[in-house]
Structure 1
Amino acid sequence: MFLSLAVILIPVLLIVWFFTRTPDEPNIQQVDWTSMTASARSHARYPVLAPAVVPEDWRPTKARYANRGDRWVGNTISAGNRWELGFLTSQNVYLAVNQSDEPRRAFVAAVTRSATEDGKVTVGRYTWVKMVSPDGRTRALTTTIGSSTAVIVADAEYPVLTDFAQMLTTS
């Protein structure tokens, strides 16, 4: 009876252990955001936002640019010249700046998960519209820079977004 129980119990315990263990640190693929920023700035028809420097413990996870008509995420076609730059902070908060010269309303709705206006804040030389998603989880700041709409988005409170906005420059 003990042998029969061991034959069944040992594989079950191994399966439970394998599927319930937590990895030490997720494997996050980092990208070279500085060269992609330079490339976007040379191709875009508007001033491209990006930080001059970021804290050493931030991990750049996205940096991509597409011209109008190019393939974008999920095999969609970009409706405008589009820029996206995202970082994972040391507190594992994802912050991204999205920018495009496509129609403002559709772009903001897509990037902010159909967020609604939640006030305004001035950061540096720009006045940003604060936005919050219907479920209250995602917050965003939007503004117009040149012929583009810029959106900073995060699953964090507004002070985190305004701190990130202060880091952004167009050169």
Structure 2
Amino acid sequence: MQRFTQGFYGYVVAMGVCLVGVVIFLFVTPQSRTERIPRVDYSIDVANLRRDAPFPVWAPEPVPANWVPNSSRATNQKGVVTWRLGFATAERRHAMLIQSDEKPAAGFASRMANTDQATGSVRIAGESWEQRYRKDKNQRSLVRLLPGSTVVVTGTAEWDELTALASSLKQQPKPTETPTPTPS
């Protein structure tokens, strides 16, 4: 018995026991072969922005088919309101809608697009959008400067995917204030 607990044979037996344990663990542990992309509900951010943002809010209606909204973050820092809404596209690329009233608008757009160089312009849903491309980051951006805010649609998604997101954007109405009835 001593020859299996010492020396080379002991090492082989110990390694065999460990490998059997690992194989059993792998068979017993459940494994998922499907992709799991977290989905977020951004309707609360839209409702808060509609109420609080000093500019008209644009949101996708409807979200392009088979896209998954996976991040939403609205901030108000030092009076600057910014909203970032991220998506995994149907092709599993990244696209993001960013809107802000940060000044200067051109500087904000350049920072979000990671470039200040326009590569062209395109008409989407009757509106003119500036195209920007940063090759080393494989980042495409569509920029629209509006009165009071800047809208940027950006990401590693292809131009047609970014165009689909930009064309789905609808201006969200401000909530109507209902006056509280006065007691008689």
**Shared topology, TM-score over 0.5?**
yes
Q: CA deviation at 1:57?
A: 3.1
Structure 2 CA distance for partners of 1:107 and 1:9, relative to 1, 3 Å: farther
CA distance in 2, matches of 1:9, 1:115: 60
Partner in structure 2 of residue 99 of structure 1: 99
- 1:50-129 matches, within 5 Å, as 50-55=59-64, 57-69=66-78, 80-102=80-102, 103-114=104-115, 116-129=117-130
Alignment partner of 2:46 out of 18, 33, 37: 37
CA distance in 2, matches of 1:159, 1:127: 15
8 Å contact kept, 1:142–1:152: yes
- 1:9-48 matches, within 5 Å, as 11=18, 14=22, 24-48=33-57
Structure 2 CA distance for partners of 1:134 and 1:55, relative to 1, 3 Å: closer
Matched residue count: 158
Partner in structure 1 of residue 176 of structure 2: none
Partner in structure 2 of residue 167 of structure 1: 168
Q: CA deviation at 1:10?
A: 6.4
Partner in structure 2 of residue 138 of structure 1: 139
Unaligned stretches of 5+ residues in structure 1: 70-78
Moved more, 118-127 or 1-10: 1-10
Unaligned stretches of 5+ residues in structure 2: 1-7, 173-184
Amino acid at match of 2:96: A
Larger Cα Rg: Structure 1 or Structure 2? 2
CA RMSD of aligned residues (A): 2.8
CA distance in 2, matches of 1:8, 1:127: 67
The CA deviation string for residues 101-150 of structure 1, in whole angstroms up to 9 with x for no partner, is 11223312321223521100010132111001141501000011231111
Q: What SS is found at the alignment partner of 1:91?
A: coil
CA distance in 1, matches of 2:140, 2:110: 12
Percent of paired sites with the same residue:
27
8 Å contact kept, 1:116–1:134: no
Q: CA deviation at 1:68?
A: 3.6
CA distance in 1, matches of 2:16, 2:82: 55
Structure 2 CA distance for partners of 1:37 and 1:6, relative to 1, 3 Å: farther
Amino acid at match of 1:113: N
Partner in structure 1 of residue 14 of structure 2: 7
The CA deviation string for residues 47-79 of structure 1, in whole angstroms up to 9 with x for no partner, is 11111122463221122222242xxxxxxxxx7
Partner in structure 1 of residue 179 of structure 2: none
TM-score (norm. length: structure 1): 0.77
